[in-house]
Amino acid sequence: MAKPSILCLHGEGCSAEILAIQTRALRLALPQFEFHFVDAPFASPAGPGILPFFEPPYYSWIKQDSASPGADARVVRSFLEKPLALGNFNGVLAFSQGCRVATGLLRDAVLKKGLEFGVFLSGTYPPLCLDGDCATCYLFRDQGLQLGGAVTTKQPLRWDHGDLVAVPSLHIHASRDPFLRYNRLLLGRCFDADTSWLIEIEGDHQIPNNRGDVDALRLALLEIWEELKSVDDLRFHGVKDCKVNGSIVVRELEVVDSN
């Protein structure tokens, strides 16, 4: 029987090859799944944390300061259509800027077909609307937000481009992530709380790679997948908020020793 397949979307100024390296610990912990990586369509400078560790080329999903963000969003949509049509993916995993694309993907009535879950690692905000019709979802400045944590006097708008993402989603937030505010905005404004899991870890803006954090993600994703395969109407009944403390995963009504 074929393994469930996950489409993986890298962050800003990164690449499919780099994300494959960054997620090695996660992939080794989850041999039940197949992971497939794609490059974003736009060439770009190296993103945060890439230099001096990884050589070019680098790609991004979003052109900062673009004169035609709607057209760029449609390029991303067209770019993803082929792997989605050929890949028969069960879920999507994304990091940082890739989470903005993955959020839009899970809201697209056509592209999301077959996608049963999402994994969002330090996702930034706002999401990318892949039909190109929602300009306020495209860049930080469109909602009065600036990178680095500063917020203008203009209040950020709620993402009103359709319903909340309702497929099961797993979100990883790191305590020292400079974009933690945007991680929380993405989760709080774009996802149905009844089908969302949150794991909070100690760390910066990076892919989880220590044993405790990786095992927390593994346990949560496997439980999501088992629930998907065992019930028709998936509801998590409130058991969805996770706090990682060393190698212990503490969840409502339950403590799991990951050793």
| Per-residue pLDDT tens listing for the chain (259 residues) | 789 999 999 999 999 999 999 999 999 999 999 999 999 999 999 998 899 999 999 999 998 777 787 888 889 999 999 899 887 899 999 999 999 999 999 988 888 889 999 999 999 998 888 876 654 444 443 333 443 333 333 333 444 545 789 999 999 999 999 999 999 999 999 999 999 999 999 999 999 999 999 999 999 999 999 999 885 444 443 334 444 433 233 333 232 333 3
249 neighbors 221 (Cβ within 8 angstroms): no
102 neighbors 120 (Cβ within 8 angstroms): yes
- How many C-beta atoms lie closer than 10 Å to residue 219's C-beta? 17
State the total domains in the chain: 1
Assign 200 to helix, strand or coil: strand
The pLDDT of residue 64 is: 79
The pLDDT of residue 126 is: 87
C-alpha 93/C-alpha 102 separation (Å) is: 8
What is the CATH number for 185?
3.40.50.1820
Q: Find the domain containing 213 and state its range.
A: 5-257
pTM score of the predicted model: 0.82
C-alpha 48/C-alpha 151 separation (Å) is: 20
